[in-house]
Amino acid sequence: MGVGTESWVVMATARSPTNIAVIKYWGKRDESLILPINDSISVTLDPDHLCTTTTVAASPAFDSDRMWLNGKEISLSGGRFQACLREIRKRAHDVTDEKKGLRISKEDWQNIHVHIASYNNFPTAAGLASSAAGFACLVFSLAKLMNVSEEYGALSAIARQGSGSACRSLYGGFVKWVMGNDSSGSDSIAVQLVNEAHWSDLVILIAVVSSRQKETSSTTGMRESVETSPLLHHRSKVVVPSRIVQMEEAIRSRDFASFASLTCADSNQFHAVCLDTSPPIFYMNDTSHRIISCIERWNKLKGTPQVAYTFDAGPNAVMIAPNRKTATDLLCRMLYYFPPSPDTELSSYILGDKTILQEAGLKSMGDVEALPPPPEMADKLTSRVSGEVSYFICTKPGQGPVLLADENESLLHPQTGLPK
């Protein structure tokens, strides 16, 4: 049975993670295909705490492609959505649905419209790489629906055309986006370096920093850096190639000291490139700078890196600890410097894996108030100001996209293909 006047609906639902780069992507050599000027490496974050869920539906009864994000209809007319839809349709294969007695051919897929509903389990406005999880999930779920093969990183090359960093969200663990050489972009793909089990001791603490200012988008920021920053050209040609080799080695051998110093240095150089851009771009704010100082001071006191930090195109800090013990020390420090306001419940200030609170011996606000100043602050007067951090999320390295088989998890109605 091909496409006719029938009113069947076929659907697929998937969940995809977000990722944080430890060697940053900043700068394109091709704006429309989204080809970068250097390789980058990221860690995928546990989708239990930060993910996008997407349902895609196809039906001959739909008269246009439509999309809803967090319940609100959004336009699909942008070039990036269109590129992902076009590239997926191009690679569609025959699909047989025995339960529905359907056979949808490769050719049929070219004319069937899709409905897409997407939902983030974290605030879209928090600046936590929602476009990476979003485009990875869109491409992964459409590929499952239309039976597109995943061979040779093909899906990552499609997700890349939605948003560069999205290509790295197609795999779990540590992932490298190889910049490639070909002008078609076919070799600019993501590859998994190690899966999430390889370095499962790592604990990731994200400080969602309060910010009033509307930031320059990554897309605009990196274009301006490519056009005006001499430091960016030195970085992409000289610094990143050798850092990538060292970072891969640090990850393979679970060498935390080397991993942490490379991660911090790369984040700091990325923000130096932003300052070197004309006019300069400021993504970090005073709170971000205070977080860096307190980690640097702690690392210096211990003589070896305790925790790594990295910041993307916004003020939020992503901190990576080598194990649970150091993560509890980090949490106590963060709560000492950035306590919740008195009317905030501790359990709504620490999101994600809340068991870290018990492990740190913090049951109530009284415990937070009683935290002693960290030893590296002994000779300094420190203020404890609430309100600078909106909340923390405790998470860990996680897996790549998965298909959700349970119909209850679908975001679209199985008969109408409209949002539930």
Q: Compute the least distance from the CB of residue 28 to ligand DP6, in Å.
A: 7
**Residue 339: left if φ>0, alpha if ψ -120 to 50, beta else—which one?**
beta
With binding defined as CB under 6 A, does residue 174 bind ligand DP6? Answer: no
Q: Which stretch binds ligand DP6 (CB under 6 A): 19-27, 94-102, 117-125, 384-392?
A: 19-27
Tell me the per-residue interface mask from 189 to 218 with ligand DP6, x by CB under 6 A, - otherwise. Answer: -----------------------------x
With binding defined as CB under 6 A, does residue 164 bind ligand DP6? Answer: yes
d(CA 265, CA 27): 18
With binding defined as CB under 6 A, does residue 39 bind ligand DP6? Answer: no
Q: Is 242 helix (H, G, I), strand (E, B) or coil?
A: helix
With binding defined as CB under 6 A, does residue 180 bind ligand DP6? Answer: no
- Closest to ligand DP6 by CB, 80 vs 106, is 80
In angstroms, how far is the first alpha carbon of the chain from the final one? Answer: 28
Q: Compute the least distance from the CB of residue 183 to ligand DP6, in Å.
A: 18
Instruction: Please identify the residue of the shown chain whose CB is closest to the bound ligand DP6.
Output: 164
- Closest to ligand DP6 by CB, 116 vs 284, is 284
Which residues make Cβ contacts (< 8 Å) with residue 61, sequence separation at least 6?
7, 9, 417
Q: Compute the least distance from the CB of residue 293 to ligand DP6, in Å.
A: 21
With binding defined as CB under 6 A, does residue 158 bind ligand DP6? Answer: no
The Cα-based distances of 292 to 63, 309, 310, 326 in angstroms read: 52, 7, 9, 16
With binding defined as CB under 6 A, does residue 156 bind ligand DP6? Answer: no
Query: Which residue in 55, 120, 131, 211 binds ligand DP6 (CB under 6 A)?
Result: 131
Token pair of 395, please? 């998470």
Q: Is 229 helix (H, G, I), strand (E, B) or coil?
A: coil
With binding defined as CB under 6 A, does residue 124 bind ligand DP6? Answer: no
The sign of the dihedral angle between the CA atoms of 234, 239, 241, 242 is positive
The Cα-based distances of 174 to 72, 250, 311, 312 in angstroms read: 33, 11, 17, 17
Query: Which residue in 3, 170, 313, 331 binds ligand DP6 (CB under 6 A)?
Result: 313
- Closest to ligand DP6 by CB, 40 vs 53, is 40
Q: Which stretch binds ligand DP6 (CB under 6 A): 17-25, 47-55, 148-156, 253-261?
A: 17-25
d(CA 61, CA 378): 69
User: Do 13 and 404 form a contact (C-beta atoms < 8 A)?
Assistant: yes
With binding defined as CB under 6 A, does residue 21 bind ligand DP6? Answer: yes
Query: Which residue in 8, 12, 16, 24 binds ligand DP6 (CB under 6 A)?
Result: 24
Q: Compute the least distance from the CB of residue 164 to ligand DP6, in Å.
A: 3
Neighbours of 249 (CB within 10 A): 13
Query: Which residue in 25, 81, 109, 391 binds ligand DP6 (CB under 6 A)?
Result: 25
Sheet bearing 190-194, strands edge to edge:
19-23, 40-44, 174-177, 190-194
- Mutual orientation of helices 130-145 and 79-90 as an angle, nearest 10°? 30
Positions in the binding site for ligand DP6 (CB under 6 A): 21, 24-26, 34, 40, 131, 163-165, 218-219, 312-313
